[in-house]
Structure 1
Amino acid sequence: MPKNPKQKPAVAFDTRPRLERIIQIHEAIQSGKRPNCPALQEILLGISRWTVLRDIEFMRDRLCLPIECEKGKLGGYFYSHEVTTLPLIQISEGELVALCVARQALESYRGTSFEPLLRAAFEKLSAGLGQTVEFNFAELSSVISFRAAGFSPIADLETFDKVSRAAIRQEEIELEYHKPNSDEPVKLRILRPHHLTSVGGAWYTFATAPERNTIRTYAIGRMRKVNLTGRKFERLEGFDPATYLANSFGIFGGEAPEKIRLRFTKTAATWIEERLWHASQKLTRKKSGELDVEFHVCIAPDLERWILGWGSEVEVLGPAKLRRKIAETGEKVSRING
């Protein structure tokens, strides 16, 4: 087969993507019928002989497929050994490592109903890389690992599937929602899911209700007996999840932001500087070694818990109401553990 033909007959250009042609050529060879060049031209609806030869060369040299040709002028093409997948995914070494790290990060879903789906997805991706790339995912755990503190796995994949389908199809759902620390009787309610998000290892949906056309946040893990109703709804015009959470330190969004001013001790300062806690953060090191931190976020339980988690290593400089709230909670903690 000529690799660099000097002359090519005048033919109409084939406007279809090469990927589409390669898939058709692969299927023809995979069938075992050993198609020759004229047969492939017919399958590909009359493209030039030179286009077929270039595609065959690409499949053999770039995709490393074991394509052989029978002897003779009209010899057909065949695979010299079994080809189970068509290696269409081409990635760099760095991208491969990133893929491996991502897979390792998903180990936090081990033991949940997500595990078999995620494992199957990565096996398909690995197969798509072809036989030229070999990487043992199991070996990665010896050098890279992840630990998710406070991770909240979704025990009921069916619930997650129904909520996500409802958001995609813009379909109302009927469910029971179990509020934490509530004495109210559990009752059926109707929700209109607009968006699903994972924050801090737990899944939530932003939704409206027929009687209240404002966005509220619901934890999917607190939902029970979820059913699709078949009733369509219109998404709230102008709702954007990124904008909704822009002023949130965690999952509690939608409120007006305030200037949060904190001062961390020299001991804690380095720990704070090492991470991006919020897009609005401003850090200022003082000569004493202390660190002043400023956020523009709404005051909410997740922010308060984060501050309290630093104990005596942090002082709230403002606003005054947040300082009082942290002080009151600190006194309660002291009484309980005193």
Structure 2
Amino acid sequence: MSVFDQGSPAALFAAVAAGAAMKYAAGIMFPKQKKEEYRYVGKVGAIWVYPFKSFKGLSVQSADCTALGMQWRSFTDRHWTVSTADGVYLTQRQVPTMALIEPVLNGDRIMLMAPGMDPISFPADPPVTDSNISKVTIKTDTVRSVDMGDAVADWLCRYFSKTGLRLHYSAPNLEKRDASKAKKMWQHPAQPGDMCAFSDYCGYMVLSNASLADLNTRLETAVPITNFRANIIVDDCGAYEEDSWSSIRIGNAQLRALDACTRCVLVTVDQSKGVKDKKEEPLKTLKKFRLKHPYGEKPCFGVNYTLDKCGQVKVGDPIYATLS
């Protein structure tokens, strides 16, 4: 008969000690992961920067995550926007052919190219003066901006066959928009200091190729990732796994999830042709399976993020996340 069978104090102590040792060993071999612990969830499949709101984006191999969005050289995400004659921002929702205007960075100047138009160029970072200061309204915010001048304004008016259009630039020393003040139909978690320039809501959007692949299995005609104008495209994860990440870390950069990216008619625009899909796809299909509480009648696809720590990200970098 062993000491474990005798019920003695020594046997009881030995049993407790043995159990503790087993738990300790199991903890080393199979450690439990807490929600707040970072774990590998995928890798960066692509990086996109959209310096001009609703213009063609740039696919780059590396970029800097800044407090105001993804930055590549002198281009920072959504720092230029077109306004109507009454000073309100213009997007592909109203004018889908905006998708065909391509910005090119050439030294300290920017060149815009569009079908049927001679290219036009202007300074990438013009000074702020009394003569060029202007205002533009994005959503419910009206902020100061640099008016980029009559020449590019005339170029835009001719391309769009509209009058009164202006091009605005959010210069570094001009005020930015605080996501915590955004007006939404639901309670959103943006904090004071979560800043952006001319983005609808915040500085970053994250989406996975797996989610796109799942959506495309439900469509008659597949759509590319560019329809959704995300900044960080994730590979090596499951469909919609990005919904459950509360924060992500890529190299030294750290981003915090805010809320789901709710989708509108803009995702129906063919980014290579500048036309809306007549069947309103993929928006129509997204509404069938991606409506989530508390986001109402707009389907969710991708996640809005803000910056907690600056750093460079590269295609192929591993992504680590905490879970919500």
TM-score by length of 1: 0.24
Structure with higher RCO (Cα < 8 A, 6+ apart): 2
From the CA coordinates, give the structure whose radius of gyration is larger.
1
Name the structure where helix makes up a greater proportion of residues: 1
Bigger strand share:
2
